[in-house]
Amino acid sequence: MNSKNNPSRGSSGPEFLSTPPLVMPIYQSAAYIQKDIDQVDRVYENHEPDGYTYGREGHPNAVHLAENLAQLETAEQAVICGSGMAATACAFSVLLKQNDTVVASDQIYGRTAILLDEYLRRFGVTTHFVDITDLSAVETALRCSPRILFFEMISNPLLRVANAPALIQMAHAQGSLVVVDNTFPTPVAFRPLEHGADLVVQSVTKMIAGHSDVTLGAVLGSQSWIDMMQHGMATWGLSASPFECWLAQRGLATLSLRMERSSGNAQQLADYLDTFSQIKHVLYPGRKDHPDCDAARLLFDPCYGNMVSFELAGGRQSVDHLIRNLDQIPLVPTLGHIETIISHPASTSHRSLTVKRRSELGISDTLLRVSVGCEAIETLEQRFRSALQGQGKTGVR
């Protein structure tokens, strides 16, 4: 069902219209009419590729978005899920079984860590967390021949860069599958499948949709893998709504433009923030002082992403002061908005971790993560300058 030959993927509207709409319609229907039970058989057996049955199993808007996203990520196929976590859960639930082992980066989104360490453990899956930037440590961890090596291409929130080609080669040498979360760089900056990754997961909610009005995810890879993911998505009920797929398709059309602008802003904002003495240090993969700058410059083209993290001097009070005084830069627990937003990882994305564990990972209570948007850079600099006034003197270091 819903194979590559589905005409609704490449068309903008129903074929019965002699003047089809420029933009693909929203197919807001929970089910699709079948002429007879023979047609039901043809659709389910994929002999009628332009047919649909029930919205949870697939609909034209999800298929249209999947095709376009797969083309951008250079994947054979994709499946769209109801959130980024739904996509990650779909991949793990399909690939893993009892007594399997996962080697995962120790710097991943907090909910993903919970999924691996708590929920999948209940089903007999063991996860070993490792510093993904330490290739010797990864090599040691892979000696157990895990079912999956999982990592984020750019980690959340410290923006560490994974050496994907080396990691993929090491994992495949042990017979392990490689699943990469490519949410931060997006396929504009990096495409893991071109370097041999088996599957890519994306939080479409973020930069791909780009306007903070969508909650979606995607799994991308070869046709054979995605056929399995499609079945898992429908079985676990991880499907996406037509309207949100339609919104994400709109966002996808401007992804490259938004990434170029916001990444350029991020580079300049990171350099600007580093001139403030009350900011202890700034993290951005494109800066020379970033620990993975060499890897970032080798792998990412044409940009290093729109995420900047920095640590304030002082304590929680200094963080609250900055947040309260940032004009038109709201505190929200997400990223990828068209305009700049800021988050506090210790109290949001990684609040489930113990204070000790956050400290071990370098996620302090004064760490802030900025999702840089498409405003004029002069506007962003002025907003941060105004908010930082009164917290200390400024000066080039």
59 CB-near residues (< 8 Å, 6+ apart): 27, 29, 52, 242, 245
Which of 229, 252, 275 is where one domain is finished? 252
Q: Give yes or no: residues 122 and 240 share one domain.
A: yes
Same domain membership, residue 335 and residue 223: no
164 and 277 together in one domain: no
CB-CB contact of 154 with 160 (8 Å)? yes
Q: Domain range for residue 85?
A: 7-252
Total domain count, the chain: 2
Q: Is residue 366 part of a domain?
A: yes
Is residue 234 located within the same domain as residue 306? no
**Residue 389: per-residue pLDDT:** 85
Domain's final residue, options 222, 252, 282: 252
**Distance between CA atoms of residues 341 and 328, nearest Å:** 8
Claim to verify: residue 292 and residue 160 sit in the same structural domain: no
Extract the tokens encoding 215.
């909650």
Same domain, 246 and 269: no
Please check whether residues 154 and 296 belong to one and the same domain.
no
- Phi, psi angle pair for 149, to nearest 5°: -105, 125
How far apart CA 195 and CA 54 sit, in angstroms, is 36
- Could you report the per-residue pLDDT of 343-373, keeping only the tens digit for each? 999 898 888 777 888 888 888 999 999 999 9
Report pLDDT for 7: 35
pLDDT of residue 6: 39
Which residue ranges in the chain fall short of pLDDT 50? 1-13, 393-397
Q: What is the Cα–Cα distance from 150 to 197, expressed in whole angstroms?
A: 10
Kindly state whether residues 55 and 122 are assigned to the same domain: yes
Q: Is 123 among the domain residues?
A: yes
Are 260 and 359 in a shared domain?
Answer: yes
The model's pLDDT over 122-158, given as tens digits with 9 standing for 90+, comes to 999 999 999 999 999 999 999 999 999 999 999 999 9
What pLDDT is attached to residue 16?
A: 61
Asked whether residue 315 is assigned to any structural domain, the reply reads yes
Find the catalytic residue in 56, 250, 280, 297.
56
223 and 141 share one domain: yes
pLDDT of res. 390: 61
Q: How many CB atoms lie within 10 A of CB 92?
A: 25
Same domain, 130 and 20: yes
Q: Give the pLDDT of residue 5.
A: 36
Q: What is the pTM of this model?
A: 0.92
Give residue 2's pLDDT.
Answer: 46
| Residues 70 and 117 grouped into a single domain | yes
Examine the residue annotation and report whether 109 is marked as an active-site residue of this protein. yes
The residue from 9, 160, 191, 206 that is catalytic is: 206
Among residues 372, 70, 50, the alpha carbon closest in space to that of 249 is found at 70
- Show which of 252, 267, 296 is a domain's final residue: 252
Q: Of the listed 9, 52, 106, 109, which one is catalytic?
A: 109
Q: What is the CATH number of the domain that holds 191?
A: 3.40.640.10
Is residue 147 included in any domain, yes or no? yes
pLDDT at 279: 96
pLDDT at 14: 52
Round to whole Å and give the CA distance between 225 and 207: 25
Q: What is the CATH number of the domain that holds 265?
A: 3.90.1150.10
Q: Within 13 A of 83's CA, how many CA atoms are on the CB side?
A: 7
Active site residue 206: yes
